[in-house]
Amino acid sequence: MRILVIGRGGREHAIVWALKRADPAREILCAPGNAGIAQLAETVPIGEMEFDRLVAFARERAVDFVVVGPDDPLAAGIVDAFETAGIPVYGPRKNAAEIEGSKIFMKNLLRKYGIPTARYETFTDYESAKAYLDAQPVPIVIKADGLAAGKGVTVCFTREQADEALRDTMLNKSFGSAGDKVVIEEFLEGQEMSILSFVDGETVVPMPAAQDHKPVFDGDKGPNTGGMGTYSPLPHIPQSVIDTAIETIIRPTARAMVAEGRPFRGVLFAGLMITKDGPKTIEFNARFGDPETQVVLPRLQTDLLEIFQASLEGRLDRVDIAWSPESAVCVVLASEGYPGSYPKGLPIEGLDRVSEEEALVFHAGTAEKDGRIVTNGGRVLGVVGRGADIRQARERAYAAADRITFQGKMNRTDIAAKALR
Ligand code: AMP
Ligand code: GLY
CB 408 within 8 A of CB 348: no
- Indicate if 300 and 380 belong to the same structural domain: no
- Indicate if 334 and 308 belong to the same structural domain: no
Nearest CA to ligand 2 atom 3: 289
| Site to substitute for ligand 2 among 269, 282, 283, most atoms within 8 A of C-beta | 269
Provide the domain count of the chain: 4
In this structure, is residue 104 part of a structural domain? Answer: no
**pTM across the whole model:** 0.94
Strands 211-212 and 203-206: unpaired
What is the tens place of the pLDDT at every residue in 38-66?
Answer: 999 999 999 999 999 999 999 999 999 99
Nearest CA to ligand 1 atom 4: 283
The verdict on the CB of residue 289 being under 6 Å from ligand 2 is yes
Mean pLDDT of 274-303: 97
What is the tens place of the pLDDT at every residue in 116-126?
Answer: 999 998 898 88
What's the gap in Å between 259 CA and the centre of ligand 1? 27
In this structure, is residue 116 part of a structural domain? Answer: no
Mean pLDDT of 297-321: 97
In this structure, is residue 16 part of a structural domain? Answer: yes
Range(s) of the domain holding residue 18:
2-93
DSSP 302: S
In this structure, is residue 110 part of a structural domain? Answer: no
- Indicate if 360 and 410 belong to the same structural domain: yes
- Indicate if 83 and 130 belong to the same structural domain: no
- Indicate if 246 and 310 belong to the same structural domain: yes
Q: Residue 150: which pLDDT band, with cuts at 50, 70 and 90?
A: low
What is the tens place of the pLDDT at every residue in 323-379?
Answer: 999 999 999 999 999 999 999 999 999 999 999 889 999 999 999 999 999 999 999
The pLDDT of residue 324: 97
What is the tens place of the pLDDT at every residue in 218-239?
Answer: 999 998 888 999 999 999 999 9
| C-alpha–C-alpha distance, residues 366 and 332, integer Å | 13
Mean pLDDT of 274-300: 97
CB 54 within 8 A of CB 28: no
CATH number at residue 378: 3.90.600.10
What's the gap in Å between 272 CA and the centre of ligand 1? 9
Q: Residue 164: which pLDDT band, with cuts at 50, 70 and 90?
A: confident
- Indicate if 314 and 331 belong to the same structural domain: no
Asked whether residue 4 carries a pLDDT value surpassing 70, the answer given is: yes
The whole-angstrom distance between residue 28's C-alpha and the CA centroid of its chain comes to 21
Contacts of 341 (CB under 8 A, 6+ apart): none
| C-alpha–C-alpha distance, residues 94 and 106, integer Å | 14
Nearest CA to ligand 1 atom 19: 187
In this structure, is residue 120 part of a structural domain? Answer: no
Q: Residue 145: which pLDDT band, with cuts at 50, 70 and 90?
A: confident
Residues comprising the chain, all counted: 421
With a Cβ cut-off of 6 Å, ligand 1 is lined by: 118, 141, 150, 153, 155, 185-188, 192, 214, 224, 271, 282-283
Ligand nearest to the CA of 154: 1
- Indicate if 338 and 308 belong to the same structural domain: no
